[in-house]
Copies of this chain bind each other. A is one copy, B any other.
């Protein structure tokens, strides 16, 4: 494995880094299918290609970045394991990636995490360290765990290896379709969106990349517009995967390579989610439905276009469907 790729610096994520990430993770992840629906195309007056990362290992694109980060660790680091604080898909993905690499995962999770998520992490063999449900407690607990175990922190998005891994979803989408005119991805911390933008810049002949964000968690929209990082404060959107704010590694990539960020209403997210379930017969979580919500809200510049959408994840709560 080339040593060069270990020495990332801001702005240094190259086309080669993305291809190497893809080679590194390919034996472990699913090459997810690309679906389409005639009735959805009619409804939005466009041709939409859905890259189904909800069908990815551990139920989300997060398995890509986590696998890339874990597989790139040296032998010493693998012995000590990996750690993160997360109550969402990254916790599951990192635990899964650690388990297939034969290394340990330490997950700092807030004490009010759902039982479903706790049991999913335990199912993959992760060690959970509970803490108070505040960012401060999460960060303090993670620091302590890392100090005690020597584990390597794998941040959910503010990490170049993670970004390179997430970029591989768009790489595959570009390979498996032709003539895309727009690519759209949801944006929370920005790992998926920044990776998607890099992939389209390097391998998609600079297809415009759009970010899709809930109005109630519009930090990326505000940061993008004002050209400076403006974090969200305790956003309440149903799209729980998008409540995080951009990081200082993802933001510059987004600023440089993303064409536009759209925000959507909560009711559009729910409508989009239900539509995808009904027409594509697949489960997506609210966060994954946000780009479809942009299409439903109707923007003239997208009419009649060939649009690729990354369906980011499928870890929906089957006991609490938002339309019931």
Contact-residue size bin, chain A (C-beta under 8 Å from the other chain): 20 to 34
* A318 and B321 contact, CB distance less than 8 A: yes
Q: Are B314 and A324 in contact (CB under 8 A)?
A: no
Q: For window 277-324 of chain A, which residues contact chain B by CB distance below 8 Å?
A: 277-278, 280-283, 314, 318-319, 321, 323-324
* Copies of this chain in the oligomer: 2
Tell yes or no: A123 within 8 A of B by CB.
yes
Cβ–Cβ contact A323 & B318, under 8 A: yes
Contacting residue for A282 out of B282, B321, B324, CB 8 A: B282
Write out the residue numbers on chain B whose beta carbons fall within 8 Å of the beta carbon of A258: none
Q: Which residues of B contact A274 (CB under 8 A)?
A: 318
Quick check: is A39 within 8 A (CB to CB) of the other chain? yes
Interface on chain A toward B: helix, strand, loop, or mixed SS? mixed
In the complex, are the beta carbons of A278 and B33 less than 8 A apart? no
A142 close to B (CB within 8 Å):
no
**In the assembly, what is the distance between CA of A319 and CA of B123, in Å?**
30
Residue of B39, B54, B278, B321 near A321 (CB, 8 A) is: B321
A123 to B43, CA, bound (A): 12
State in angstroms the CA–CA spacing of A54 and B324 once bound together: 23
CA distance A123 to B123 in the complex (A): 43
Within 8 A of B (CB), among A44-80: 54-55, 59
Q: In the complex where A33-B33, A39-B123, A283-B283 touch, is A278 in contact with B54 (Cβ < 8 A)?
A: no
Q: Give the 5 A-B CB pairs with smallest separation, nearest first.
A: A281-B314, A281-B283, A54-B281, A282-B282, A55-B281
Q: Mind listing 8 A-B residue pairs with CB under 8 Å? A: A35-B55, A54-B281, A281-B283, A281-B314, A282-B283, A318-B323, A319-B324, A324-B324
